[in-house]
Amino acid sequence: MGTNVKIKILLIEDDINECNAFAKHIKTREDVELIGTTNSSSEGINYLKNYKVDAVILDIELQHGKGSGIEFIEELNNMKLNYIPMIVVISNNLGSRVYNFLHSHRIEYIFYKGEEDYSQEKVINTIISLTPYCNNTKPTIVKMGSETIDLKDEYETIVSNKINKVLDDLRSCKKIIR
């Protein structure tokens, strides 16, 4: 029994060639969906308000767009979302101050476009590989080999067991106090 769960990606990038390369690569895949592309940090924030985005590919410098990746990250930190999408930064230029800013805002996935092995495929593959391990995403369906597991039932069982343990502990405390 297979499930077609796609990771929803938002691309915030001002280089049209880079946008086209990501779109072209994503069209070849069944595990990801490009839900939007923008060259504006404020438009990127609006996407997050209106859509459940699993990952954002963020160009830190939007020289031919509006705003910057820094503004996007600061605005994201001020938002009251029920989740935080995985943020993957791509850039042509990463100075130490920008690098430190990114790490201080819990951005751990940074790709330098000038690297010899940089590719859109590598960025997407990293997102795919890391999504199940992010604290911000709680997948309900996981594929393990050929088996598909519905974690929703697992979460409900874990929560129910923890609640029952707390109740049992409270009952034990009442008996001790009497």
Q: Do 110 and 63 lie in a common domain?
A: yes
Q: Do 121 and 171 lie in a common domain?
A: no
| Overall domain count for the chain | 2
40-96 per-position pLDDT tens digit: 999 999 999 898 899 999 998 888 889 888 899 989 888 877 778 899 999 987 778
Q: Do 132 and 79 lie in a common domain?
A: yes
Which residues form the domain of 158?
143-177
Residue 2 within any structural domain of the chain = no
CA distances from 120 to 9, 24, 28, 49, 105 (A): 13, 9, 12, 26, 24
- Tell me the one-letter amino acid at 108: E
pTM, 2 dp: 0.71
102-113 per-position pLDDT tens digit: 888 878 788 988
Q: Do 106 and 40 lie in a common domain?
A: yes
